[in-house]
Amino acid sequence: MRTIQISTDTFAAIWKAQKVGEATEDAILRRLLGVAADASPEPPVRDLKVVLEGFHDPRYGVTIPSGFEIFRTYHGKRYTAQAIQGFWILGTTNMGYGTLNELSGALGIANENAWANWFFKNDKGRKTPLTALRDQTKIVRRSKGPVSKIVAADIDF
């Protein structure tokens, strides 16, 4: 085997082209390039786990299966993305992003809670925010700090 350097978006595009039974980048590229199948032994089981995982965020205890689709509307346009090999692949560009915030950033969104603004269809077909998949006990909520009350009696007129 040889090692090659490729960009994240190229890597994500390779896995987006995956067909059932292809467990390695080599198998996907062999099919796409018309190279005969390799007679070498099957890849180790640890490689198969990576293929089956779409996205994993250990901070929130979330593991999303490969091919899982999310969507949102921004400035009147609907966007979709799929979880593939640890990346979110944006449907309009086929570019891969390592986090939801990077995915939203690709749409021109600077600051937001991406977990609340990307959605999926739940098992009943209902639009559900992605944050519903997170372990709620692991979410750190920022304190807004103490709020001062101003009473009219405290103000000199």
Q: What is the pLDDT of residues 39-83, one digit of tens each?
A: 665 544 444 444 456 788 777 778 888 889 999 999 999 999 999
41 falls within a domain: yes
> 53: exposed, middle or buried (C-beta count within 10 Å: 0-12, 13-18, 19+)?
middle
In the chain, the number of structural domains is 1
35 falls within a domain: yes
**Structure pTM?**
0.59
142 falls within a domain: no
- Report the first-to-last Cα separation within the chain, whole angstroms: 82
Predicted confidence at residue 65, as pLDDT, reads: 87
C-alpha–C-alpha distance, residues 54 and 45, integer Å = 16
Predicted confidence at residue 157, as pLDDT, reads: 45
* Residue 112, pLDDT above cutoff 80: yes
Q: What is the pLDDT of residues 20-31, one digit of tens each?
A: 777 788 888 989
38 falls within a domain: yes
Predicted confidence at residue 24, as pLDDT, reads: 80
Predicted confidence at residue 82, as pLDDT, reads: 93
144 falls within a domain: no
